Amino acid sequence: MDFCDQLDSPLFTHFIANYTHPTGPDLLGRTEPFFQWQESRRQTGLWPYSRSLDGAPAAECAVRSEMGVARQGLNFGSQDYLALSTHPAVVEAAHRAIRDFGLHSAGSGMFSGNTPPSLELEAALAEHLEMPYVALFATGWGACFGAIAGLVRPEDHVVLDALAHASLQQGAMAATQKVTRVPHLHARAMRRKLQEIRAQDTSNGILVVTEGLFSMDSDVPRLDELQSLCHEYGATLLVDVAHDLGALGPRGTGSLGAQEMLGKVDLVVGSFSKTFSSNGGFVATRSAAVRQFVRVMGGPHIFSNAILPVQAAAARESLRIIRSEEGDALRARALENIVALRGAFAERGVKCLGEPSNVVPVPLGDPKLARIASKLVFERGVFPNLVEYPAVRLRESRFRMQVMSSHTVEQMRHGATVVLDAIAEAGRLLSDCERTRAPLRGAMGASDSRGRADV
């Protein structure tokens, strides 16, 4: 089958969502249709996921596809926004932690999994966020899930921004069936929903969940407005700052700092897997009781081994740099790159989504075009992440280009040129197919038509 014929096949028309609910008694056997579909994408170079890096997540790196195909090129898929994972002071802190405390965290933070680096990290983060009580988790996912599952009971309500991260959505669904999603960043819809819930239920809790920076759209909620709404309706606000803390805002305080909301929202959760060049997560609160409750009642803290000393030490040293003048300089350099990248797209008529942040979403729209363009950019040594349905709406596929302080403005221009050329070429390939197939379709049906392109 040639390329044009394949456009109407599951290779291009199916999404992960087509396979999420297999049925039948054979739990293992029924995974096969998904695998076959995925495999057809892998074999044709149209599965841009599960790649590996052959070195550190530097601006230029060697990337290997899941099929083992290696390419050298420009890395736009790293969340190490200030490039701290290779900063000599962070590397030295990590080495010191391994030397002094070993590699293991010994056990859950409920038992004896805490270490001097993890205790120091808790205290430093509390100061940074102006929230005196911090509970650490082994991952950001666990912190998000655990904060919600720890606090919310089946009688309570959770109201999420529709685009809140999967860890927040799954935490909500594990805690209660009373979960609603309001349209993204829609303050009036949020007010209506809170009004509606409170009109019927004055005796249970409502948790409102949002993010400091939405990482697929690069947009930001008005946190003061949301917090006031929560006060008005007796609700509690939780803000996930995974992507903005450290990377944005004065002294890396993220959207909370930029909006003068440090220490003023009810709950803050986040991750060390982005700007903090490590792994791990946290819940921050103004209440000693809430911290203890989330630790004990939020499953991932009590039932997972604690963050490793080396992870805590790397995050702690990253935080020191984030808060320093050096951190300001790194953020300024990243911003220069971000502005250059968005500008390079704008010059050729493409408006990147959202606001300037380390996440630059480039709209692709049509999912078929998106898959072809993604294959082309990989071949040409530019590596953004492809985001497809159901992570975004069906016709809103996009590249997520993640920008680091260690990139250069020249790399931004080159990256934008390669991406734009790939999009244009993918568009031409598709319209060539349309042209060849249109007359044939009427006469004999699409499956008999011949196409020209070979992707």
Ligand X SMILES: Cc1ncc(COP(=O)(O)O)c(C=O)c1O
DSSP 251-281: GG-HHHHHTT-TTTSSEEEEESSSTTSS--E
Integer Cα distance of 293 and 298 in angstroms: 7
Minimum distance, C-beta of residue 109 to ligand X, in the bound complex (Å): 16
Q: What radius of gyration, in Å, describes the C-alpha atoms of the chain?
A: 23
Nearer to ligand X, 252 or 281 (CB): 281
Minimum distance, C-beta of residue 102 to ligand X, in the bound complex (Å): 22
By CB neighbour count within 10 A (0-12 exposed, 13-18 middle, 19+ buried), where does 128 fall? buried
Minimum distance, C-beta of residue 99 to ligand X, in the bound complex (Å): 25
Minimum distance, C-beta of residue 222 to ligand X, in the bound complex (Å): 18
Minimum distance, C-beta of residue 151 to ligand X, in the bound complex (Å): 17
Nearer to ligand X, 227 or 279 (CB): 279
Nearer to ligand X, 167 or 449 (CB): 167
Nearer to ligand X, 114 or 139 (CB): 139
Q: HEC profile for 102-148?
A: CCCCCCECCCCCCCHHHHHHHHHHHHHHCCCEEEEECCHHHHHHHHH
Nearer to ligand X, 184 or 198 (CB): 184
C-alpha distance from residue 102 to each of 124, 308, 309 (Å):
22, 9, 8
Query: Which residue minimizes CB distance to ligand X?
Result: 140
Phi-psi region of 251 (alpha: psi -120 to 50; beta: other; left: phi over 0): left
Residue 43 in tokens: 């074999």
Phi, psi of 266, deg, nearest 5: -70, -45
| Residue that has been written with the tokens 């990147």 in this structure | 352
Minimum distance, C-beta of residue 270 to ligand X, in the bound complex (Å): 7
Q: Summarize as ranges the residues that interact with ligand X (CB under 6 A).
A: 139-141, 144, 165, 167, 211, 215, 240, 242-243, 271, 273, 279, 281
Nearer to ligand X, 94 or 387 (CB): 387
